[in-house]
Amino acid sequence: MKADIHPNYREVVFQDLSSDLIFKTRSTVQTKETIKWEDGNEYPLVKVEVSSKSHPFYTGQHKLVDSGGRVDKFKKRYGK
């Protein structure tokens, strides 16, 4: 393998903003935020809007997920 061409693969904490789910896994995603984990170590933090805890496919519940006002734009354009 060539040296210095692969991204840094490390442990990262993901936080679902629409539920209380926080989990640690490994990823190459880049972030500037950090969080102190249960083991006392500090890990990079990635905030996500949807995860398996909040996605309608996994929960079985239909839930409106509006990211960036898309629903409002649609209602404004096509609603009366």
Encode pLDDT of 59-75 as tens digits: 566 655 556 677 777 77
Residue 9 · residue 26 · CB < 8 Å: yes
Read off the pLDDT band of 2 (50, 70, 90): confident
Residue 21 · residue 51 · CB < 8 Å: yes
Closest CA to 30 of 4, 56, 12: 12
| pLDDT score recorded for residue 68 | 61
Q: Locate 75 and state its tokens.
A: 């209602």
Give ∠ CA 30-53-40 in degrees, rounded to 5. Answer: 55
In this prediction, residues 19-32 reach a mean pLDDT of: 91
| pLDDT score recorded for residue 64 | 58
Closest CA to 24 of 7, 50, 40, 45: 45
In this prediction, residues 28-35 reach a mean pLDDT of: 94
| pLDDT score recorded for residue 25 | 93
| pLDDT score recorded for residue 67 | 60
| 70, containing H or E segment | helix 70-78
| pLDDT score recorded for residue 4 | 85
